[in-house]
Structure 1
Amino acid sequence: MLSFAAPWVFLLLPLPAAVYFLAPPRREKTASVRIPFFRRVAQAAGVEPKSGSVIRSRARLQTACIIIIWVLLVLALARPERLGEPIVIEKSARDVVLALDISGSMDQRDFQTDSGAPMQRLDAVKGVLKQFIAERDGDRMALIIFGTRAFIQAPFTEDLNSLNGFLDQTQVGMAGPNTALGDAIGLGIRTFESSEVDQRLMIVLSDGADTSSRMTPVNASAIAAEKNVVIYTIGVGDPNASGEDRVDLQTLQDIADRTGGEYFFADDTTALEQTYARIDELNPRTVETQSYRPRQSLSHIPLLLALMVLLVSTAGFHFSHRKKGVS
């Protein structure tokens, strides 16, 4: 499709005609030499002397070339361009932080594979989490791991393959044997400080009770609510265990309630998959759509044509004058 970036330039097209008809011809006096036999020379040449100004006339071809050159120059100034097919870019309007508990209790083998074989909790969680990440095409995601301390394993990124790579490198106990749930939520809130979108979602997965946080999980969730961060909590531990190995379901429930999220409990891979599917239903992906059409400038074409017409007309003018001189 052809369009013009500055179509108003076409208003200049009648400008030479307006100058031609409205502006008077330029007059000037020229010095001359009077000779005593001037009349005889005029009679010999067959010309009758007259007084007054003389306006030089142009040949029709020369006038046509000037008009064509002017039209081509105006066409170039109007900036013709070829528009390509519309290109639509979708940008996610949601940022997601995954907070994963890798304390010592995640080494328990109380999950089962499809064949019934026991599986480590962390391996089961990582398998389902990878699928969840792969389906977040277009979202920005960050990964936080926590044990005795909380760390950012991967900052916000749209490269979900690299995020899965960081998840593969995560091992039980690499952040300490205890559980700092409140610190993990606080670190997630600080991670969202670089986010410019309105929809901020944090998914916290833990299998134990908070024992080493400097900020309680309830206080951290209250701050998250003020920052418009919605937290979904997932408990994967044993609520009947004792000590630090017992998952604190009530705390996870309170965290979700305070931020407008939901709490889930998953005791096997099937329940865990259903949990992430439910989170998808509750938080459908939102996108910001931008579209544009690629533009290719064509201004050089009328400029080249104008140059060619100028060269051809100049060459023709000199050739005709030379021919007259020879004859």
Structure 2
Amino acid sequence: MLEFAWPWLLLALPLPILVWWWLPPYRARQASVHVPFFERLAAATGETPQRGAVVMERRAVQMIVAIAIWVLLVIALARPQWVGDAVTHEVSARDLILAIDISGSMDQRDFKTPDDETLTRLDGVKRVISDFIARRKGDRVALILFGTRAYVQVPFTQDLQTARQLLGQIEVGMAGEQTAIGDTIGLAIKSFAASTAKEKLLILLTDGNDTASRVPPEHAADIARQNGVVVYTIGVGDPAASGENRVDLGVLKAVASTTEGRFFRAEDGAQLQAIYVDIDRLSPAKLQTLSWRPKLPLFQWPLGAAVILGLVLWLALLIASEWRRGKAVGHA
């Protein structure tokens, strides 16, 4: 569809007519020399006397071309453009961080998959999380790994394929043998600091209790709540175990409750898969529909036509003038 970016400039179309009507014509007076023997002087020079004031009359073709050039220039100034059909694109209003415990206890081979295969806890978790990442639609996903220390493995991205590849490269102990839940929540809050998403969600999975954090998990959870971060916690360890291998379900429940999130308990792959399905249901992605219409500028066409018309008229007048001059010389 043809539209004008600045249609109000079309109001300038009648401007030359208004100037023609309202402004007085240009007049100039020049002093002349009176010669009493003018006729003898003219005869001596061979010139034929004419009227002192000569008013050049414009030809009809000049007026037509001038009007056409003015109309084309005004149209070009109004910026004509071809506006295409609307194009829509859905983007998520959510940023999502997956925090995965890779401490030493995640190397235990006691994780049952839905098809009765026994894997290490980390391998089983990686398989479930990889499927979860693949189902993201529009979400920006980040990946945090933690043990004794927490670090960002994948910053926020919509390149899900790369995120899944980097997830597959995780090994137990890369971040130390202990567990730092509070520091992990703090790192997630820092990662969310530059986010403009309306929804900020952290899914934290661990099989141990907090033994290495400089910031207590409960305090970190309170800071997360103040920054609008919702934390879903998943415990996959054994609460009856001792030491580092014991998962502190009470802390995980408190963290989730403080941030208005949810706590889940997973003992095998089937439960963990169901948990991630529940998270999708409880916290669905909020999609924003962005719409725009492609615009193709067309001002160059009327502008180019005006330039060509002006050059053609100038060339035609120049040829006509030279032809008349040559004809006058031939008669002389």
Does TM, normalized by the shorter one, top 0.5?
Answer: yes
Equivalences for residues 111-150 of structure 1 within 5 A: 111-150=111-150
Shift of residue 113, structure 1, vs aligned partner? 3.4
TM superposition score normalised by structure 2: 0.88
Aligned to 2:93: 93
Q: Compute the displacement of 1:242 (Å).
A: 2.9
SS of equivalent residue, structure 1 residue 57:
coil
Query: What's 2:153 paired with?
Result: 153
- Report the CA distance shift for 1:307/1:190 in structure 2 as closer, same or farther (over 3 A): closer
Displacement of 1:212 in angstroms is 2.1
Aligned-pair CA distance for 1:261: 0.4
Q: Could you tell me how far 1:115 is from its partner in structure 2? A: 3.9
CA gap 1:142/1:15 in 2 versus in 1, 3 angstroms:
same
RMSD (Å), alpha carbons? 2.5
1:84 paired residue number: 84
Comparing 268-277 with 218-227, greater Cα deviation is found at: 218-227
Deviation at 1:32, TM superposition (A): 5.8
1:209 is paired with a residue whose SS is coil
Q: Distance in 1 between matches of 2:105 and 2:189?
A: 25
1:171 and 1:190 map into 2 onto residues whose CA distance is 24
Structure 2 residue matching 1:138: 3-state secondary structure: coil
- Is the partner of 2:193 in helix, strand or coil? helix
1:1-327 equivalences under 5 Å are 1-30=1-30, 31=32, 55-325=55-325, 326=327
Query: Percent of pairs identical after alignment?
Result: 47
- Alpha-carbon distance in 2 for matches of 1:304, 1:243: 81
Q: CA deviation at 1:114?
A: 4.2
Output the amino acid matched with 1:136: R
Q: Tell me the equivalent position of 2:46.
A: none
Query: Does the CA contact (< 8 Å) of 2:113 and 2:270 recur in 1?
Result: no
Give the deviation of 1:102 after TM superposition. Answer: 1.0
Cα distance in 1 for partners of 2:96, 2:296 equals 38
CA–CA distance in 2 between the matches of 1:36 and 1:60? 41
How many Å separate the matches in 1 of 2:236 and 2:287?
31
Q: State the alpha-carbon separation in 2 of the partners of residues 33 and 298 from structure 1.
A: 59
Q: Report the 3-state secondary structure (helix = DSSP H, G, I; strand = E; otherwise coil) of the residue aligned with 2:100.
A: strand
Aligned residue number for residue 45 of structure 1: none
Q: Distance in 1 between matches of 2:150 and 2:185?
A: 9
The aligned length equals: 320
Instruction: Encode CA deviations 1:230-276: one digit per residue, 9 max, x unaligned.
Output: 11011111223233212222221111111100011111111111100
Distance 1:64 1:96 in 2: 66
Q: Which amino acid aligns with 1:186?
A: G
Pairwise CA distance, 1:87? 2.6
What one-letter code is carried by the residue in structure 1 that aligns with 2:230? V
SS at 1:253's partner residue?
A: helix
Q: Which amino acid aligns with 1:206?
A: T
Structure 1 315/32 Cα, relative in aligned 2: closer, same or farther at 3 Å?
A: farther
Deviation at 1:18, TM superposition (A): 1.4
Instruction: Please identify, of 257-266 and 172-181, the stretch whose mean Cα deviation from structure 2 is larger.
Output: 172-181
